[in-house]
C-alpha cells in the first residue's frame, strides 16, 4: 500500500486553485508478475484521464468527458495509440539497457513526466524524473537541459539518451504538455473546476477517546480541516486529505479533550476551508453532535483503504521512489455515502 500512498502524494498535493497539473506516470518492468510489462496513465488534477498498457495496446480515455477531444481531432486516440506503441518499445529497450550488467529477478523502471499550468499567468513548469527499483535514478537538469545520473546504474542509460539528442527534451516536452493540459482542461472544465462542500461528523470511540472531525465528499482537494479554539487555529496537524472512490475527497483530524473541562467544550469547533469558497464550514463541539460506539447505529460504509488499494493501485500501479518508502500508510477513517459512519 505504501506504493500507492506515494503516488497519490505526487499527484494530489496541488497548489493554488488556478494551477492545473498534468502528470504522465509510466512503468516498464521485468519479471514482475501481475502487471503489464509497460503501462502509462495520465493524471489531471488528481483524476486519471488516460491509460495505455502493453496488454491492451490501446490509448484510452478514463473519464467520459475526455471523449470530447475527438470533436476537434477525430483520430486522437488512434494517433496516440501509435505514439505510445513506440514509447512502449523505447521503454523496454531502456530497461534492457539498465539490466545489461545486473542480476535477474524483478526490476522496475519508472518515469514521471508532467507540468503545472498557471491559468492566470499562462506559465508552464515542467517536472521530469525517473526511478529504478524504488530509488531515485535520473533527474533532468533544466539549466543544461541534460539528464543527470543519480545512481551508477543510470550512467549507461544517460549516455544512450544523450546520443538520442535529448538536449531539446525539456523544450519539446514543455510545449507538448502545455498543449495537453490546456486541451484536457477545456474538455473537463465543468468537472475539474467545480466546488463541493463535504458532510462533516464528529466521531468518538469512547467517552475517554479523542474526538475526530471527519469530512467527506469535498472537491477539489485544495482544502484544510482543523480544530479551532475561540475561532483560532490550534496550530496542530491539519487533516490529511485522502481520495474517495467517486473522485471526491475526505479528511479527518482528532482533538484530545482529556485536559479540557466539559464546560469549555463549547469553545472548540472543527473548521473546514475549501479553496475558492469564501465561507468556512464550522462544526461546533457539542456533546449531542458526537457519534460514538456506545450508541446504536447501522452504518453503510465503504473502507477508504480498500478503495485506495483496489482502485488506485489497479489503475496506476507500481510507481514509487525510495525516499517515500519509509512512510507508512496512514490510518484511514471510514468513508460515508448516505448514513453516518460508526465511530472509530
Q: Could you tell me the CATH number of the domain that includes residue 282?
A: 2.60.40.10
Domain count, the chain: 2
Q: Where are the beta strands (DSSP E) in the chain?
A: 19-30, 38-44, 47-53, 60-61, 107-118, 124-132, 135-141, 146-149, 199-204, 211-218, 223-229, 232-233, 240-243, 249-255, 268-274, 281-284, 290-292, 301-302, 335-336
Do both 152 and 65 map to the same domain?
yes
Q: Are 215 and 251 in contact (CB under 8 A)?
A: yes
Q: Is residue 174 located within the same domain as residue 207? A: no
What is the rounded distance in angstroms from the CA atom of residue 7 to the CA atom of residue 317? 9
Percent of the chain scoring above 70 in pLDDT: 78
pTM of the model: 0.70
Region of 34 please: left (phi>0), alpha (psi -120 to 50) or beta.
left
Mean pLDDT of 28-41: 90
117 and 250 in a common domain: no
Assigned domain for 326 exists: no
* Residue the block writes with cell 485544495: 222
Q: Which residues span the domain enclosing 287?
A: 199-302+331-336
Give the residue-averaged pLDDT of 189-195: 90
Does residue 178 lie within any of the structural domains?
yes
Mode of pairing for the β-strands spanning 268-274 and 223-229:
antiparallel
The owner of cell 495496446 is 57
From 141, 174, 192, the end of a domain falls on 192
Contacts of 337 (CB under 8 A, 6+ apart): 300, 301, 302
pLDDT of residue 300: 31
User: Based on the domain organization, do 47 and 171 belong to the same domain?
Assistant: yes
Distances (CA, A) of 273 to 191, 218, 220, 221: 20, 10, 11, 11
Tell me whether residue 318 is in a domain: no
From 164, 192, 220, the end of a domain falls on 192
Do residues 61 and 67 touch, judged by C-beta distance below 8 A? yes
Domain boundary residue, one of 160, 192, 224: 192
Q: 84 or 304, which is more confident? A: 84
pLDDT category, 341, cuts 50, 70, 90? low
Pair 53, 182 in one domain: yes
Does 212 or 146 have the greater pLDDT score? Answer: 212
Report pLDDT for 334.
Answer: 35
Is 188 found in the same domain as 273? Answer: no
Kindly state the helix (H) or strand (E) to which residue 83 belongs, with its residue range.
Answer: helix 76-98
The mean pLDDT of the chain is: 80
Write the CATH number for 58: 3.30.500.10
Between residues 138 and 166, the one the model is more confident about: 138
Confidence band, pLDDT 50/70/90 cuts, at residue 198: very high
* Domain contains 230: yes
- In the prediction, which pLDDT does 165 show? 54
Amino acid at each position: 500500500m505504501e506504493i500507492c500512498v506515494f503516488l497519490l502524494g505526487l499527484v494530489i498535493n496541488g497548489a493554488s486553485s488556478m494551477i492545473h497539473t498534468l502528470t504522465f506516470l509510466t512503468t516498464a518492468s521485468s519479471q514482475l508478475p501481475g502487471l503489464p510489462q509497460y503501462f502509462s496513465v495520465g493524471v489531471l488534477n488528481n483524476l486519471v484521464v488516460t491509460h495505455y498498457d502493453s496488454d491492451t495496446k490501446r490509448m484510452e480515455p478514463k473519464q467520459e468527458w475526455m471523449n470530447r477531444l475527438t470533436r476537434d481531432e477525430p483520430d486522437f486516440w488512434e494517433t496516440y495509440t501509435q505514439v505510445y506503441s513506440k514509447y512502449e518499445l523505447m521503454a523496454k529497450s531502456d530497461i534492457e539497457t539498465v539490466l545489461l550488467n545486473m542480476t535477474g529477478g524483478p526490476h522496475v523502471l519508472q518515469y514521471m513526466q508532467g507540468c503545472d499550468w498557471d491559468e492566470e499567468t499562462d506559465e508552464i513548469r515542467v517536472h521530469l524524473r525517473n526511478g529504478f527499483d524504488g530509488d531515485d535514478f535520473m533527474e533532468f537538469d533544466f539549466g543544461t537541459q541534460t539528464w543527470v545520473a543519480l545512481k551508477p546504474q543510470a550512467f549507461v542509460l544517460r549516455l544512450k539518451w544523450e546520443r538520442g539528442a535529448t538536449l531539446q527534451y525539456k523544450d519539446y516536452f514543455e510545449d507538448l504538455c502545455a498543449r495537453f493540459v490546456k486541451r484536457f482542461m477545456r474538455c473537463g472544465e465543468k468537472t475539474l473546476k467545480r466546488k463541493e462542500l463535504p458532510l462533516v461528523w464528529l466521531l468518538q470511540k469512547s467517552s475517554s477517546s479523542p474526538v475526530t472531525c471527519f469530512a467527506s465528499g469535498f472537491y477539489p482537494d485544495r482544502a484544510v480541516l482543523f480544530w479551532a479554539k475561540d475561532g483560532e487555529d490550534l496550530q496542530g496537524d491539519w487533516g490529511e486529505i485522502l481520495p474517495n472512490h467517486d473522485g471526491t475527497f475526505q479528511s479527518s483530524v482528532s482533538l484530545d479533550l482529556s485536559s479540557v473541562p466539559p464546560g469549555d467544550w463549547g469553545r472548540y469547533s472543527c473548521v473546514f476551508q475549501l479553496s475558492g469558497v469564501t465561507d468556512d464550514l464550522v462544526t461546533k463541539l457539542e456533546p449531542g453532535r458526537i457519534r460514538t460506539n456506545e450508541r446504536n447505529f447501522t452504518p453503510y460504509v465503504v473502507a477508504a483503504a480498500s478503495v485506495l488499494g483496489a482502485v488506485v493501485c489497479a489503475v496506476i500501479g507500481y510507481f514509487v521512489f525510495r525516499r517515500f518508502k519509509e512512510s507508512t500508510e496512514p490510518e484511514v477513517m471510514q468513508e460515508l455515502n448516505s448514513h453516518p459512519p460508526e465511530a472509530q
